[in-house]
Structure 1
Amino acid sequence: MRSRRSLVAVLVSVLAPILTLTFLSPAASATSARPTGQSHAPSSQWSHGWTHYVALGDSYTSGPLIPFQRLDPVGCLRSTANYPSLVAYRLGHTVLTDASCAGADTGDMTSPQKITFGYNRPQFDALRPDTDLVTIGIGGNDHSVFGSVIGTCPGLRDSDPTGSPCREHFTVDGVDTLKAAITKTREDVEAVLDGVRERSPEATILLIGYPRIAPPSGTCPGILPFADGDYAWLNDIEETLNAALATAAANNGTTTFIDTYPASLGHDACADHAWIQGQHINPIGAANYHPNRWGMEGVAEVILGHLGERGW
């Protein structure tokens, strides 16, 4: 999504002096190392399992500003404590190749992604015939859905604080244009899933949904500066996106959709134990409107719970 990529570029340029204090070298952030702050030992129940795990995705996978940030490359804002790193550590005996990158959309699976200070290689380059586990967190940046919401809605609140000015803004001739765009996103994601299966034919493929951003009721304009009526619309947009991802996985037939939305109930940006950062950037914790460390741990637990339940 071009608008979201602009936000990421600004984030990197403004915070570059601070980021240098929280980055590790690629060698220090080796994927087999214990994630920062991780208190759980690897589980022996998976010791016979996966050997090469590839993580693909956007910033909800990479973890912008969550300590510690990696240098390979800096512009991807990839954390050593994102959910792929946490999952890989808990699985044990698993080598992780984390190709996720902030601002990525489905087109960046097969093409280089322009980022601050350079390019990220096509994420599919990380896939191998012997890759046996793949997680994919993608779709929110396609067709400018996420960037449109974040870039537009806060500025419309003052025009109608108790109404739904953002929903009205994106409704044209009775059609919600963002929901219509999500239909195209489903098709884009289906192509990604086919590409993953082609490159890693024996892999377990998990398509990861997006956690809840807004509460199901109530508002917190100091944290999420949306008009009151747009909270329900934001939830509707996110649920529509997750439903499109679930359909893409079902249509693929060899991919499992991992729904993180139910588990994130009570952990929205307004909550005391939020998984999502609100409008204000935490330069040593999380980018605005993105998962924090607790969010990454929550998503990791959902993934690990699914793997354990299926007995893989």
Structure 2
Amino acid sequence: MVATAAITVSATAACLVPATADNGPATGGVRHPVYVALGDSMAAGPFVPRRTGPLACGRSTHNYAHRLAARLGARDFRDVTCSGAETGDLTAPQRLTVLGAHAGAAPPQIDALTPGTTLVTLTIGGNDAGLVGVAGSCVRLSPVSGYCQDTFLRDGTDQEAARIDGLGPKLGAALDAIHRRSPAARVLVTGYGDYLRAGGCWPAVPLLGSDADWLQGSIDRMNGVIAAAAATHGAEYVDVRTPSEGHDACRAPGAKWVEGFVPTAPAAPLHPNARGEQAYAEVILARMAQ
């Protein structure tokens, strides 16, 4: 990471894996797990050096999963995170594209799990909700342009909110499938972070203030859906929104954890940079220690 996140990992140890584990507070109470990382581009870390795995997946050796695996001393680690993944790609092949061209398929991410898996992390849902595309449609080069959020209203109903709410059953089914494949695993499901400060920062991030608030509100709504699904399907929710406040895309290059439409550090637009991925790893470690 470029800079270490200001997060203190609790010294409280917890019995997280079988007796073969070497427990210790510095690693969130567990060492040497059999660890599988699942999820989308927030977890994969596209354009964060260095790439590993299929080009279309944009998977980085410095994403939060790799950082976490190193801190935990994972005795077996498989990272199958992939950009563009939706909940359906956890249990079915994912069609891959590079510059709009078909680039094969990735196996169902759940295939990486075994009965012996003891730790699973998962970040998923942003593509189900289509939030990156929604954000792109909200770009405004003039401060007097109309608000994009109005285009998502149908008969007084926020269609994007309805799409986000539809994520819950799909995520719940995916979590059930994970538990069936790896019944002994501790499953941690992250939300999504603070992308835009209140009121936005047009023109640095070219979203009008009201649209910026609506988009971050949509992300927060999705976090609520993810947390509820985790709670009712035997998983643990990891809040990255709260600790990432003040590290949104509007901040200075040395402070932001996520990039704007024009990145100032190696990362995909509207995605975590290396600093953010490292910070998320620290947040997950802190959650594991509780």
Query: Which category of TM-score, normalised to the shorter sequence, fits these structures?
Result: 0.7 to 0.9
State the 1:38 CA deviation: 9.9
Q: 1:223 to 1:57 in 2, by over 3 A?
A: farther
State the Cα distance separating 1:159 from its structure 2 match.
7.4
Partner of 1:199: 181
**What TM-score do the two structures reach when normalised by structure 2?**
0.85
Secondary structure of 2:283's partner? helix
Pick aligned residue for 2:195 from 213, 216, 228: 213
For 1:151, the equivalent position in structure 2 comes to 136
Distance 2:3 2:93 in 1: 32
1:235 counterpart (207, 216, 219): 216
Q: Aligned to 2:90, which of 109, 113, 116? A: 109
Q: Which has the higher contact order (CA 8 A, sep 6+)?
A: 2
Distance 1:38 1:262, change over 3 A: closer
Counterpart of 1:258 (choices 216, 219, 238) is 238
Taking the aligned partners of 1:194 and 1:119, their CA distance within structure 2 comes to: 24
Unaligned runs of 5+ in 1: 1-35
Q: CA deviation at 1:265?
A: 0.3
Contact 1:43 1:91 in 2 (8 A): no
The structure with the largest helix share of the pair is: 1
CA RMSD of aligned residues (A): 2.3
Q: Cα–Cα, structure 1 residues 190 and 157, in superposed 2: closer, same or farther, change >3 Å?
A: farther
- Maintained 8 Å contact 1:43/1:90: no
**Residue 55 of structure 1: aligned partner:** 37
Report the equivalent of 2:251: 271
Name 2:271's counterpart in structure 1: 290
- The answer to whether residue 79 in structure 2 is matched with residue 98 in structure 1 is yes
> Partners of 2:179 and 2:141 in 1: how far apart?
44
Q: 2:164 aligns with which of 182, 187, 190?
A: 182
**Paired residues, number:** 265
- 1:43–1:92 contact (8 Å) kept in structure 2: no
TM-score normalised by structure 1 residue count: 0.79
**CA 1:270/1:157 → structure 2, altered by over 3 Å: closer, same or farther?**
same
Separation in structure 2 between the aligned mates of residue 301 and residue 259 of structure 1, nearest angstrom: 12
Equivalent in 105, 111, 127 of residue 125 of structure 1: 111
Deviation at 1:218, TM superposition (A): 3.8
* 1:50–1:132 CA contact under 8 A, matched in 2: no
**Deviation digits for residues 161-198 of structure 1, max 9, x if unmatched?**
4x6x1111111111110100111111111111101001
In structure 2, the CA distance between the partners of 1:143 and 1:276, relative to structure 1 (3 Å rule), is closer
**Sequence identity percentage:** 38
Of 143, 157, 160, the residue aligned with 2:144 is 160
Q: CA deviation at 1:241?
A: 0.3
- Contact 2:2–2:274 (CA under 8 A) maintained in structure 1: no
> What's the counterpart of residue 7 of structure 2?
none
